Amino acid sequence: MNDKVVNLDKQDGRKPGDIVIEGDAMDRFARTFEASARRWELVVYPAMLAFVVLAAYGFFLIYTLSKDINILAQGMDPEMGKHLSDISDSVIILSENVRTMTRRVYKMSDTLEDISGKMDTLENLDPMLVNMRGLNASVSDLSTSVRGITFTSDAMRQEMNRMGHSMRPLNFMGDFMPW
């Protein structure tokens, strides 16, 4: 193993500082490089094969996805934009109607609260109800009395009618009587 580094002068066509390796060093370098290359081949070739497989699978996925999107696009209605616009307008109108209903429900709630408050004051009307019962009894008595007056008036009318029939023969005397 005699490795010599020789610096040659300009006479051999070499520059000063050039390194020349002699002997079996070059042979050892070649063998070491080949062994290192074999180790890298064990890593690089399977990695390249895995990359090709993954690239093919990625292409397959993209192709399948584009095919599915094409089927989906063909299945859509060509006037879907118009229909979506109509749906959007309907949703806006529906939203306005819901707002109107909400306002009306709030008003109804306020009105029901007022009614509830007024109903609470009706609980204090018990004395008035007693007076109204008395008034109702008085009106009932008045109705009975009016019925009696009506009956009596009818009897008087009938008597006056009989009296008028009985006085007809004396009708000729009406000319002589002042009443």
pLDDT tens digits for range 112-126: 888 887 777 766 666
Tokens of 147: 């019925």
pLDDT confidence tier of residue 9, bands split at 50, 70 and 90: very low
Which of 48, 51, 71, 47 minimizes the C-alpha distance to 59? Answer: 51
Mean pLDDT (the chain, rounded): 79
In this prediction, residue 170 has a pLDDT band, given cuts at 50, 70 and 90, of: low
Which one-letter amino acid corresponds to residue 148?
A: G
Tokens 């109702």 map to which residue? 136
The average pLDDT across 39-54 equals 90
- Give the pLDDT score at 50: 94
Q: Which residues share a beta bridge with 5?
A: 21
Band of pLDDT at residue 61, cut at 50, 70 and 90 = very high
Structure tokens at 168: 């007809």
Half-sphere exposure of 157 (CA within 13 A, CB side): 6
Look up the pTM and report it: 0.30
Contact 20, 5 (CB under 8 A): yes
The pLDDT of residue 59:
95
